[in-house]
Amino acid sequence: MALALVAAQFGAIRFAPSAMAVRIALPATIAGVPLALWPLRHRLGTWIMFVGLAANLAVILANGGLMPIERGTVAAAAGDERAARYRPGEWISGSKDALVGSGGGRAVALGDRIIVHVGDGGFVASPGDIIVWAGLVVLAGEASLAWQRRASRGHRAGSGAVEPAGGERAEGSAATSS
């Protein structure tokens, strides 16, 4: 369910004909992810993700449904030419971002400002995104540890080693337990 919400968000951002569609889809999908993750609420990683999602939702709602990004960040990530195409307050088409001018926007420190380089390209992220990713790593670690514990318990409890009653062995056979 959470993955479907993320896919819907990316689709809405990528193919939106106007900023209004993104201004509706972005906060709605972010608000829906905790509902989808609620069955995993017993995991620490889920709560870390909730904190990152709350930070992202707060800054997006404070800025009219779009994530704020400064011109310098756009220029560093996508080039001066792309940054020059947009005016402050304007939606950057194909993204979830709205360009904010110097001193403009609300809670801009929580907006997209971290440039992540991947190969020849890259993308921008917010502090909330980093927290969500950290929560995802913790959640994956928790799931891995739980799986290993179950496998270990299953191995000890049902190792397949069967020893006859009284510990007797047939002649020439090896012991089946250690």
Q: Residue 16: which pLDDT band, with cuts at 50, 70 and 90?
A: confident
Q: Identify the pLDDT of residue 159.
A: 53
Q: Within a domain: residue 95?
A: yes
Distance CA 148, CA 81 (A): 51
- 165 vs 117, more confident: 117
Q: Within a domain: residue 119?
A: yes
- Rounded mean pLDDT of the chain? 85
pTM for the full model? 0.77
- The count of other CB atoms within 10 Å of the CB of residue 116 is 13
Q: Residue 77: which pLDDT band, with cuts at 50, 70 and 90?
A: confident
Q: How far is CA 178 from CA 154, 159, 163, 170, 174, in A?
A: 16, 11, 11, 17, 11
Q: Within a domain: residue 163?
A: no
Q: Identify the pLDDT of residue 148.
A: 87
Q: Is the pLDDT of residue 174 over 90?
A: no
In 3D space, the residue among 38, 30, 36 whose CA is nearest the CA of residue 10 turns out to be 30
The number of folded domains in the chain is 1
pLDDT digits (tens, 9 = 90+) for 100-159: 987 788 999 999 999 998 887 778 999 999 999 999 999 999 989 988 888 887 666 655
Q: Within a domain: residue 83?
A: yes
Number of H helices, E strands in the chain: 6, 4
Q: Is the pLDDT of residue 41 over 90?
A: yes
- 63 vs 167, more confident: 63
Q: Within a domain: residue 114?
A: yes
Q: Within a domain: residue 111?
A: yes
Residue 117, helix vs strand vs coil: strand
Q: Which structural domain, as residue segments, surrounds residue 42?
A: 2-156
In SS3 terms, 34-86 reads as: HHHHHHHCCCHHHHHHHHHHHHHHHHHHHCCCCEEEEHHHHHHHHCHHHHHCC
Distance CA 102, CA 126 (A): 18
pLDDT digits (tens, 9 = 90+) for 78-98: 888 888 999 998 888 888 999
Q: Within a domain: residue 19?
A: yes
Q: Identify the pLDDT of residue 18.
A: 85
Q: Within a domain: residue 120?
A: yes
Amino acid at 113: R
